[in-house]
Amino acid sequence: MCTPHATGAETPPTLHPDTAQPSARTQFIRPPYLRPGDTVGIVTPARKLSEKADTAKVRERFESWGLKVKFGPHTADREQPYFAGTDAQRAADLQAMIDDPGVKAVVSFQGGYGSVRLLPLIDLSRLREHPKWVVGFSDVTMLHLALGRLGVESLHATMPGKFRFGSEETADAIVSDEALRSALLGLRQRIDTGPHPLNCPGTARGRLTGGNLAIVCSSLGTPEEPDFDAPTVLFIEEVGEHMYRLDRMMQQLARSGKLAKCKAILVGHFSDMTGQKHFGITDPYDIVAQYVRPLGIPVVFGLPTGHEDPNVALYMGREVTVTVGETGAVIEF
């Protein structure tokens, strides 16, 4: 058993009560993997694109993988102060991609904030009838959580807004892109990580949920809250948060009893955190460790997933086996 580590917009629509229905006991549906010639639909459910966003190069990247691309009408909409179109417009783009039988995966161009505002306006249950991969991370966490409640697997992976081209492309960025391609095609079934001093050893199996920590916490008490009563492997990552807010979020997970129900925990990138001097702790992992190491379950620190490269892909909603030992950790999908 591990021990604690020493630390020195527009008017919101009326919410529909059936946005997501608890269905953890329902058999999960796995969308078909993509094949060459399939079409991916790209939408922007949250923040609008920057002026330098290059949709043509994004199209070329997917086409180099043998895939076709269809952009939603408001993908590059910049009329609103923050969002890529109104809630109704963004929801219509997303629903159209979900309903289009020719689209085999729905990819969010980028994150930001705003996906949660679409939940009352869209019918995700159509994905149980005609499953396809919903792809993204960060703000897209809310869609992953909603799909988890509906019993449909989804893909936590890099997004077109994170693609790098030409001189800006790095080796780590290439790893992120390849992880997305491989996951879409069903070629990635295992992740190996090296040892980490904060890891907790053991083996556990459960259904993978989580994503951005702030969004996971914001889902508690809503229809999208993960079903922690089912065997759960929780993944968390974060970006740009003050250290005291990180501690507060971990307090929420702990005091709500959610952490104690987890079978294993995966800790990804915690990027561009602030307030280290003010809070007196330099490494955000030290804060997370205070809450997860006493649980006596396998814990993986340093999973290369989140708001920096490399950003390896995760199949959310899938039962995974987590094995942690002295030489590192293995996550098998």
Q: Say if residue 149 is in the same domain as residue 219.
A: no
Q: Return the pLDDT at 177.
A: 98
Enter the DSSP assignment of 274. Answer: B
> Pseudo-torsion of CA 305, 162, 243, 141, nearest 10°?
-70
Is residue 1 in some structural domain?
A: no
The β-bridge relationship of strands 133-136 and 103-108 is: parallel
The tally of domains found in the chain comes to 2
Q: Return the pLDDT at 24.
A: 44
Is residue 3 in some structural domain?
A: no
The size of the chain, in residues, is: 333
CA distances from 29 to 127, 136, 137, 267 (A): 9, 18, 20, 26
Q: Say if residue 177 is in the same domain as residue 276.
A: no
Q: Say if residue 179 is in the same domain as residue 226.
A: no
Domain harbouring 212, CATH code = 3.50.30.60
Q: Say if residue 325 is in the same domain as residue 197.
A: yes
The β-bridge relationship of strands 314-316 and 154-156 is: antiparallel
Residue type, 6: A
Active site residues: 138, 237, 307
Q: Say if residue 77 is in the same domain as residue 156.
A: yes
CA separation for the pair 64, 136 (Å, rounded): 20
The β-bridge relationship of strands 328-332 and 190-193 is: antiparallel
Is residue 33 in some structural domain?
A: no
Q: Return the pLDDT at 14.
A: 40
Enter the DSSP assignment of 4. Answer: P
With both helix axes pointing from N to C terminus, report the angle between 284-292 and 243-255 in degrees, rounded to the nearest 10: 10
Q: Return the pLDDT at 2.
A: 77
Residue where a domain stops, chosen among 163, 184, 205: 184
Q: Return the pLDDT at 265.
A: 99
Residue where a domain stops, chosen among 184, 200, 221: 184
Q: Return the pLDDT at 205.
A: 99
Residue type, 255: R
204 close to 233: Cβ distance less than 8 angstroms = yes
Residue numbers in the chain where pLDDT is lower than 50: 6-19, 22-24
* Domain span holding position 295: 190-332
Q: Say if residue 44 is in the same domain as residue 139.
A: yes
Q: Return the pLDDT at 1.
A: 65
Three-state DSSP at 310 gives coil
Residue where a domain stops, chosen among 184, 208, 233: 184
Q: Say if residue 179 is in the same domain as residue 43.
A: yes
Largest CA distance in the chain: 55
